Structure 1
Amino acid sequence: MTSMFTALFSRDPVKEFPFDLLNKYPDVEQFSVFSLYSGKSRTTQEDVSIFCANLKDLGYLLAQKAAACLKKIKTLRHPSILLYLDSIQTDTLIYIVTEAVVPFTSYVRNLKEFSNFKEVASWGLYSVANAVSFLSQDVKCVHNNINCHSIYVNKSGEWKLFGFEYLISYEDEPEALQKPGEFEQYAAPEVRDGRVVLKNNWTVDAYGYGCFVWEVFNGPLSDASLLKNPNSIPKEIQKDVRLLLHPAISSRLSVGDFVRRNRVTGGFFTNPVVDNLLFLEEFHLKDSNEQCAMLNSLSNILDQFPKDIQVHKILSRINEMIKFSNVGCSAIPALIKIGKLLGEEEYQIHVIPSVVAMFASQDRITRVRLLEQLEHFIDHLKPDVVNEKIFPPLVTGLLDTSASIREHTMKFFSESLLPMESTTSAFGQPAGAAFRCVCIPVELVKQRSVDADGETQYRCGFRIGGGIDQDPAQSPAGYPDSGIYITSVEPGGAAEQCGLRKDDKILQANGCDLTMATHEQAASVQIAPKLNYKNLNENLTRHFLRILIKDEQPGIRTNCCIALGKIAPYLQPEVRQKILIPSFCRSMKDPFPPARIAGILALSATEQFYPLKSVAVAILPSLTVLMIDPEKQVRENAFRSCKGFMEKLEKASENPEIIPKLESEVNMRYSAGSFAQNMPQWASRALSSLTTKFQKPVSSLLARSDLKEEAASTKKHQAEDFTPSSDGKNPTATTPTTTNTSCTASSTVVANSTFTAASSSTVVKSESELLDKFKSDWNSWDDDWDSEQTPAKQQTATTDLNDDDKFSMQTEVNDVNEEIDWATGEDWQGWDELLSSPAVVAKSVLTERKSKHHQKS
């Protein structure tokens, strides 16, 4: 028992202190009994600040002040008072742990370089004024130490009051106001003269606050005589600052009155920064209309706030509003804009949870806005998040009664499987020990370069050579090994702008190790799909099949055909054999001309996936029917596609020994690049046309391709989806185009023109029936299709659509042929023209720069 008590009382509290002291801030102890250190919690790894007082060095009186400060901060709680977390006190030292802060004097030096310094400073002064008023009115105390050295700033840019060493109650003796000589410039005249009466006296802190206002705009005060000159103090508050500093107590302005006089229209404390930050602090008291109105305007003024306030204050409040209020739709622009300031780790912590929450929202407009802004956050969505949290609620959009929701959801699925990867790339320095990170952003890749034949392409701007299948001795540059090297860099191209240079050795590309790669493998590296097996091969394909059969919007059926073609390379071979030919042949029987063209081109672009018997028995008969189609574009594409398949059959007939190889390709699993590399030239061109020239007409025609009866049947659903316009017409939904992500790195790096796709989950009620139906009889679709839509329903109809509605598919039109004449071939002159604008996926590369092959410029 004795040993137990001995051990209990012999513990060293400093050794058991759960925080680590890190870096010391200089000069803090000159105006305080404490030194300030940055610190970190050993348990949570949270950043903190630690105020340290060495009682032996301070002497008795100042040690008492340090102990008094600890006692006071433990009991004071206010948004503008430094947040207390923990402390220890022994006979020799005092540690006070608070939220992470920096001294005001160092913070304000950097803040003054910000363009909107005055308004940001007004917010800080407003916060400190509230803290001072709290002490004088509620706590009935005199802080007695208000100056720039008692203010600290946290990571949210909030100014916090500390320095409670000299805080006294109204009931204490006036002599307690006396402070050491280094504070003499801050002493109020009545304190210096010894004529102060403490009871209900706020005048001392009003004077100190006036000194602090002067220091915010002019720097630390060295002598009281300087207060007579306002210097850089804004003109609108110079008069009130003089009243704060008035030598006569009876004429001195209180801090509360200073705030009230300047929190009026046109006042110093009335500006977008203060107004919006106050609103965010009180958002739970506002109704949803006020919250939405504020958030709608917030994204336009975010540049008026420093980065720390945007990231750590505004963003956290927005996340709270998304969690507890129905404001997701309005919060998206600000969320995306602030997200651009974050690193990847911070993005995953502060933005992705809100994105996931909004995808699960029942609010249709929120879901549409998220899908419209897809490109801003898709790079940051991890595969597990897509499959487990986003796919299940999102896939319900394919079943929505709103055509706009279905269309935007389809766009997501056709574009998000292979997003632009925002990982870094790296290459070594000449020493070979360190690595410098480099990324080729898509914005740089999207710089057009026109080839000699007039074809416009996007390029990363470098060529590669080498590989374990190449002899390094045969390389022109005489590379020392069989690695992958950059053989040339396009002047002014994306790669050069990002720092890549000739003779850099590529170690990784998009996370794939290329140190032991063949040339073909290096050329075909792309980004791995985000969807798992079940979501991609079972759930998503079933929803696509349902849309191809039953969706009443021809534009959505068309885009669904395109999306199915895009995800085809990533489907399991057995799944491809079940659904591709039936799906594309079904589209070729669609009364909507763009849908028929989509089916033709999708077949052409995926020709590798079909056995020779299926080509002869199923594909060619379906194509020959379209050779007499009423639409010229349909006929032209049918002839081209048929020619390509015939060439494949002729090659097999003339060289039977290659049949096993052709048949083996049917069951191959393809990566993005390898699929494009193995695709014949005519099929590659079909793929390009499928995702560029073709898509614009589909979007343009969707609003007017439907029958009047179809518009009437969906009118009530649209009325539920969106608020009618002022003229009483129901707005309809926008039909976005889907874009293919592809990249041409060089003539050596084979074109990475690839399909892309996305995510989905949930099960349609007749899924198994659909698959069985497709397997049993492709031709049986004719009856179903005729029962769904007749050619009469494809007559052009003039539809009145609200021109002001953001979600309208098309403004008022009179005739389809006014914009696109599908009966002529004027828009589609020549196959090569269809390749004019392939989209791009940026490629990231990890390279090692050897001193032997590179000299610094």
Structure 2
Amino acid sequence: MEFFKSAVASAISKGPPFPYTFGDQVDIDASIWTLYNGTKREDGSNCSIFSFDVTTNKSRLPMARNAVKKLRTLRHPGVIKVLDTVETETYIYIATERLIPLRWHTKRKSMSTETLKWGLFGIAQTIKFINDEASSVHGALRVSSLYTSESGEWKVGCFEVLSSMKDDDAIIYNYGSLVPDAGRYTPPELAKSGWDAIKRNPLTAVDAYNFGTLIFEVFNGDFMSGDQAGQTKNIPPTMHSTYRRLVNANPKARVSVGNFLEQGRRSGGFFNTPLIKLTDSVDNLGMKTEEEREEFLKLVVRPTYASDANDNSDLDRLSDDFPEDYFKMKILPELLKSVEFGGGGPKVFSVVMKISTKLTDDEFETRVTPAVVRLFSSPDRAIRVSLLDNLPVMIDRLSQRIVNDKIFPQMVSGFTDVAPVVREQTVKAVLTIIGKLSDRTINGELLKYLAKTSNDEQPGIRTNTTICLGKISKNLGVSTRSKVLIAAFTRSLRDPFVHARNAALMALAVTSDAFNEDDCANRILPSLCPCLIDKERLIRDQANKAMDVYLQRIRKFASAMADTALPPPSSLEASTGQAPRMSTPQPSEAASWAGWAISSFTNKVSAAAGEITPTTNGAPRPSSAPLVADRRPPGTASASALHRQAVATPPVASARTSTSSNAHDYFHDSNGGADEEIEIDDAWGDMEEESFFDASSEAPKATKPAPSAANPFDDNGEPDFAGWLAAQAGKKTSAKPLPKGLAKASPSNGRPAVTTRVASTGGIGGAGAKKAATTAAKPAAKPVVAKKIDTAPKETGEDDGWGDGW
């Protein structure tokens, strides 16, 4: 073999240029030609090369030259396609399309009956053309002279003795008997009288007989002798009668191949099959009407249109009955052209996808991928929806570069399309292509469009967006995952569409690993709670399931946490030199938080003792005032201390007053003396949300005066003029002296003087008393403004004002 290749290379170097490279030799039956697989040097495309060695076959050189001449001049789809020829003194080369000997298939019996009929139909058309239009006789028709192309079509070759009957010196008369294996296939009349007998019989007689032997060969194997002619073993019954007429011993009684073809194409004839109808109508598919195109599609996938319930088995049946290569090479390109330019529509594209499942990855990339990329830019919504529906079929065949750089940029227009079906299918397609998108595309452009569809006016699209986000959560960036998912899912929990809420709950349940414990406790669980009392039972049930998922996770996390974040008592004593003022309940005491709190409350009430020391102006001490351990000067008693003193020694004991006092002391520790209580009260005052308990260090301009110490909670429904005047006297901004007799008395023994209320009929008496009362009554309207201040306790005229504040 290597020697032959070197000899061929040497011969080519001495002769005309031959731009093809020889490959492996192909095994064929006896022939004057040697067949090789080859490639075209220019583009690497496949071809076949027939080689004739002139030096060793000089006696058959006229036959080789006749074959070259006829192949170059006779043009028909059923004839081998010639690419190039070269002839020198030592060799003849014919480069053709890539061919496979038909003998390979018939020996293995790899073709179905439908495919054999289809192949015979094509050969019959070619022989009819040779006999009728070309007025010629092939003279060597048999299995060894036939080949299959890459598309699976049967092709006629071996034109060594093909002759025109108009030529008196036709090569067939002299060289017909030199064709290899001519003795087995020669018609009876020629075997008796020689090849000149062709002139005395119908032109079609020789090829009709050989076509009959060909039928026997393709259904039964080798044709060994003339005795087998007419035998019907394995031949379809509908073909029997016409087949026998082809091999009739009387050449004038034989039917021509053209008549055989006509008989088979009649209604109910042996050539009236779906595959043959399909091949007849595949050409110019784009020019057909809608009805003709629909009929064509029925032929392509005939079982599918009868029953759509089992597409896979139908497609398998299609591949078993019909030649797979023909669908790849001939049907598929025509269908793609019809979709792109001929208005084939979604139905045609669906058939394209069915056929493409039989393609290799390389074949899909070269034949289908370019058309798919172009179709994604089509403005036809029906085509776009069909493309999105079929993405799962072809996504594995598309490279990441193609999807990310060419297909996805065309897809994004579907997110904002005016047609809801396009938007919905685009959202669903995200799940299919997510694995082929880059991280930058996912966390940038894709999330931007999903944010729009999550607010779509169509509830189904909102629901599908939530489902989509849940399924692609692992593909999102770590830095944005929890932020995006929490925002999307918690918003969907408030969606009025029940299935959108249900989708959000299920998505939260399956993506719990995407969130940290802080997000689970602070953001997700509070959002889930309203769903527990949703009006729809479906939502309530799903909310309970989601709550269980997050509660189990929070409990597991909390069980691993430390008991407290406070420093241990030993370290606190070492740093301050003294024990903490406020004790912390020990584990044994914390068995019941309510029990601990109530015991503190009981101890606190029993420990309260002493007198209530009012301030100078009767207002409680501000929480920010400095602490004094042993002695409080006037005006520094806190509101809490004042209240406790009232509890210990109430002027008038009542159950309601006692209850409100106890409720206030419920939140104070029982350990320690007066100093401890002052410090706890200051700690509550430091909390912004509980500023209700604080009194300002400066008296506000519109502050309502507190009740006098003599009767701190009851004013009998009358304004406390004296107390109000005393408060006015304490203002630094007041430069005008009070009228005589209304000045504040000096304190004695460290205690403030008690201002008595002026009675309407006693004291000063007469008109002077009335005038003083009138004068003092004028400023009494100002305390009304103080009602706008929330930081001071309101006077309700009842003993339980503090209790009402809680």
TM-score (norm 2): 0.60
Question: 1:334 corresponds to which residue?
Answer: 351
CA shift at 1:56, angstroms? 1.0
Whether 2:441 is the aligned partner of 1:535: answer yes
1:640 equivalenced with 2:657 (yes/no): no
Tell me which residue corresponds to 2:411. 394
Give the Cα–Cα distance (whole angstroms) in 1 for the partners of residues 295 and 201 of structure 2: 46
CA distance in 1, matches of 2:159, 2:186: 16
Paired with 2:514 and 2:160, the residues of 1 have a C-alpha distance of: 79
Cα distance between partner residues in 2 of 1:652 and 1:81: 83
Report the secondary structure of 1:152's partner residue. Answer: strand
SS in 2 for 1:62: helix
Paired residue for 2:177? 180
Task: Output one character per residue of 1:177-212: Cα deviation in whole Å (capped at 9) or x when no partner.
Answer: 332254134334554523433899333333332332
- Select 1:572's aligned residue among 469, 477, 483: 477
Greater shift in the superposed pair: 154-163 or 343-352: 343-352
Higher mean Cα deviation, 241-250 or 560-569? 241-250
Separation in 1 of the partners of 2:415 and 2:333? 32
Alignment of 1:407-806 (within 5 A): 407-417=424-434, 529-549=435-455, 551-576=456-481, 579-603=484-508, 605-607=510-512, 618-631=523-536, 632-633=540-541, 635-637=543-545, 639-640=547-548, 643=551, 646-647=554-555, 650=558, 654=562
> In structure 2, how many angstroms separate the alpha carbons of the residues matched to 1:322 and 1:282?
12
The SS at the match of 2:77 is coil
Whether the 8 Å CA contact 2:138–2:163 is kept in 1: the answer is yes
Question: 152, 165, 182: which one pairs with 2:147?
Answer: 152
Residue 164 of structure 1 aligns to a residue in which SS? coil
Structure 1 counterpart SS, 2:454:
helix
What SS class does the counterpart of residue 228 from structure 2 fall into?
Answer: helix
Q: In 2, Cα distance between the equivalents of 1:624 and 1:235?
A: 77
Distance change >3 Å, CA 623–CA 175, structure 1 → 2: closer
Corresponding residue of 1:273: 275
Residue of structure 2 equivalent to 1:18? 19
Q: State the partner residue of 1:91.
A: 89
In 2, distance between residues paired with 1:598 and 1:145? 73
Structure 2: unaligned runs, 5 residues or longer:
1-9, 304-316, 566-806
Q: In 2, Cα distance between the equivalents of 1:634 and 1:214?
A: 71
2: distance between equivalents of 1:373 and 1:10? 53
The residue type equivalent to 1:640 in the other structure is D
Shift of 1:370: 4.0
1: distance between equivalents of 2:154 and 2:24? 21
One-letter amino acid of the structure 1 residue matched with residue 241 of structure 2: K
- Is contact 2:53-2:90 (8 Å) kept? yes
How far did 1:153 drift? 1.4
Q: Residue in 1 aligned with 2:34?
A: 35
* SS of corresponding position for 1:166: coil
- 1:347 maps to 2:375: no
Q: What residue in structure 2 maps to residue 478 of structure 1?
A: none
- 5 Å-filtered alignment, 1:297-376, equals 298-299=300-301, 300=303, 302=318, 303-376=320-393
CA 1:236 to 1:556, structure 2 compared with 1: closer, same or farther past 3 Å? same
Count of aligned pairs: 531
Rate the CA distance shift 1:246–1:414 in 2: closer, same or farther, 3 A: closer
> Offset at 1:25?
3.0
Q: Secondary structure at the match of 1:56?
A: coil
How far is 1:98 from its partner?
A: 0.9
Asked if 2 retains the 8 angstrom alpha-carbon contact of 1:620 and 1:645, the reply is no
Cα root mean square deviation, aligned: 3.3
CA gap of 1:185–1:568, structure 2 versus 1, over 3 A, is: closer
2:13 aligned counterpart, secondary structure: coil
Partner amino acid, structure 1, of 2:49: I
Work out which of the residue numbers 392, 401, 409 in structure 2 matches 1:384. Answer: 401
Distance (Å, rounded) in 2 between the aligned partners of 1:386 and 1:175: 61
Structure 1 residue 68 displacement after superposition? 1.8
The aligned amino acid for 2:222 is P
Residue pair 1:22, 1:39 contacting (<8 A) in 2 also: yes
Measured after TM superposition, the shift of residue 48 of structure 1 is 1.6
In 1, the alpha carbon distance for the partners of 2:28 and 2:454 equals 72
Distance in 2 between residues matched to 1:635 and 1:215, nearest whole Å: 73
Give the C-alpha shift of residue 97 in structure 1.
1.0
Whichever residue aligns with residue 643 of structure 1, its letter is L
1:73 to partner: Cα distance = 1.0
How much has 1:637 moved relative to structure 2? Answer: 4.4
Cross-structure match for 2:767: none
Find the aligned partners of 2:153 and 2:563 in 1 and give their Cα distance.
77
1:319 counterpart letter in structure 2: L
Matches of 1:643 and 1:539 in 2, distance apart?
Answer: 35
User: In 2, distance between residues paired with 1:598 and 1:221?
Assistant: 70
**Within 2, Cα distance between the matches of 1:96 and 1:86?**
6
Report which stretch shifted further, 259-268 or 626-635: 626-635
Q: 1:154: Cα distance to partner?
A: 1.5
**Which of 101, 106, 116 lines up with 1:108 in the alignment?**
106
Larger mean Cα displacement after TM superposition, 151-160 or 591-600? 591-600
Instruction: State the identity %.
Output: 32
Deviates more, 1:294-303 or 1:77-86: 294-303
CA pair 634-228 structure 1, distance change in 2 beyond 3 A: closer
Larger strand percent = 1
Deviation at 1:604, TM superposition (A): 5.1
Deviation at 1:91?
0.3
Residues 584, 284 of structure 1: alpha-carbon distance in 2 compared, 3 angstrom cutoff: closer
* Residue of structure 2 equivalent to 1:209: 211
3-state secondary structure, aligned to 1:269: coil
Q: CA separation in 1, counterparts of 2:463 and 2:280? A: 49
Which residue of 1 is the match for residue 76 of structure 2? Answer: 78
How far residue 649 of structure 1 moved from its aligned partner, in angstroms, is: 7.6
TM superposition score normalised by structure 1? 0.57
1:113 offset after TM fit, Å? 4.4
2:61 maps to 1:63: yes
Q: 1:222 aligns with which of 217, 221, 224?
A: 224
Q: Judging changes above 3 Å, is the alpha-carbon distance between structure 1 residues 627 and 216 closer, same or farther for their aligned structure 2 residues?
A: closer
Structure 1 residues 298 and 27, CA gap change in structure 2 (3 angstroms): closer
The secondary structure found in structure 2 opposite 1:88 is strand
Shift of the alpha carbon at 1:218?
Answer: 3.4
Residue type at the aligned position of 1:622: S
Structure 1 partner of 2:44: 45
Q: Residue 177 and residue 71 in structure 1: after superposition, are their counterparts in 2 closer, same or farther (change >3 A)?
A: closer
Matched with 2:162 is 167
Distance 2:231 2:534 in 1: 88
AA aligned to 1:623 is: L
Q: Distance in 1 between matches of 2:385 and 2:61?
A: 62
Q: For residues 768-817 of structure 1, what are the alpha-carbon distances to aligned partners after superposition, in whole Å with 9 as ceiling and x for unaligned?
A: xxxxxxxxxxxxxxxxxxxxxxxxxxxxxxxxxxxxxxxxxxxxxxxxxx
Q: Cα deviation per residue 1:634-686 (whole Å; 9 max; x = unaligned)? A: 542463365357548847964999xxxxxxxxxxxxxxxxxxxxxxxxxxxxx
SS at match of 1:22: strand
Q: Which has the larger radius of gyration?
A: 2
| One-letter amino acid of the counterpart of residue 464, structure 2 | N
Which residue is 2:690 aligned to? none
Letter in 2 for 1:52: S
Q: Give the aligned partner of residue 850 of structure 1.
A: none
Map of 2:664 onto structure 1 = none
- Cα deviation for residue 573 of structure 1 reads 4.1
**SS of aligned partner of 1:97:** strand
